[in-house]
Structure 1
Amino acid sequence: MSWIKTIPFEQATGKLRRLYNRVTGPDNNVDNIMMAHSLRPHSMEGHMALYKNVLHHSANQIPKWFLEVLGVWVSSLNRCGYCVEHHFSGLQRLLADPERGGAIRAAIEARTPEDAPLDAAQIEAMGYARKLTEAPADMVEADVQALRDAGWDDGEILEINQVCAYFSYANRTVLGLGCSTDGDVLGLSPNNSDNPEDWGHR
Structure 2
Amino acid sequence: MTRINLVDPTHATGRTAEQLGEIKSAFGVVPNMFKAVANSPAALSSMWGAFGALGGGRLPPKLGEQIAVAIADRNDCHYCLAAHTALGRKAGATAQEMAEAQAGRSADPRTAAALAFATAVVDKRAGIEAADVEALRQAGFDDGEIVEIVAHVALNLFTNYVNVALDVPLDFQKVKLTRAAA
User: Residues 81-137 of structure 1: CA distance to partner in whole angstroms, max 9, x if unpaired?
Assistant: 111111111111111x6xxx222233245x361xx3x32122111111111111124
Matches within 5 A, 1:21-170: 21-25=21-25, 29-54=29-54, 56-57=55-56, 60-95=57-92, 101-108=94-101, 111=103, 113=105, 116=106, 118-170=107-159
Structure number with bigger Rg: 1
Maintained 8 Å contact 2:120/2:126: no
More moved, 5-14 vs 69-78: 5-14
Q: Amino acid of the residue matched to residue 64 of structure 1?
A: P
Residues 156, 112 of structure 1: CA spacing in aligned structure 2 closer, same or farther, 3 A cutoff? closer
Percent identical across equivalent pairs? 24
| Partner deviation per Cα, 1:32-82 (whole Å, 9 max, x = no partner) | 11111232222211111112112x11xx22221111111111111111111
Moved over 3 A (4+): 25-28
In structure 2, relative to structure 1, the CA distance for the partners of 1:10 and 1:185 (3 Å cut) is farther
1:139 deviates by 1.0
Q: Are the equivalent residues in 2 in contact too, given 1:9–1:28 (CA < 8 A)?
A: no
Counterpart AA for 2:76: R
Give the total of aligned pairs: 174
Which residue identity is paired with 1:7? Answer: V
Q: CA deviation at 1:154?
A: 1.2
Unaligned runs of 5+ in 2: 175-182
**Separation (CA, whole Å) in 2 of partners of 1:50 and 1:81:** 21
CA distance in 2, matches of 1:18, 1:80: 27
CA separation of 1:7/1:143 partners in 2, compared to 1, >3 Å: closer, same or farther? same
Q: For the aligned residues, what is the CA RMSD? A: 2.4
Partner SS for 1:36: helix
Query: Could you tell me whether the CA contact under 8 Å between 1:31 and 1:185 is conserved in 2?
Result: no
In structure 1, the partner of 2:177 is none
Is the partner of 2:141 in helix, strand or coil? Answer: coil
In the superposition, the TM-score normalised over structure 1's length comes to 0.76
Q: 1:152 to 1:15 in 2, by over 3 A?
A: closer
CA contact under 8 A between 1:3 and 1:178: conserved in structure 2? yes
The two structures have a TM-score, normalised by structure 2, of: 0.84
Counterpart check, 1:4 vs 2:4: yes
Structure 1 runs not aligned, ≥5 long: 187-202
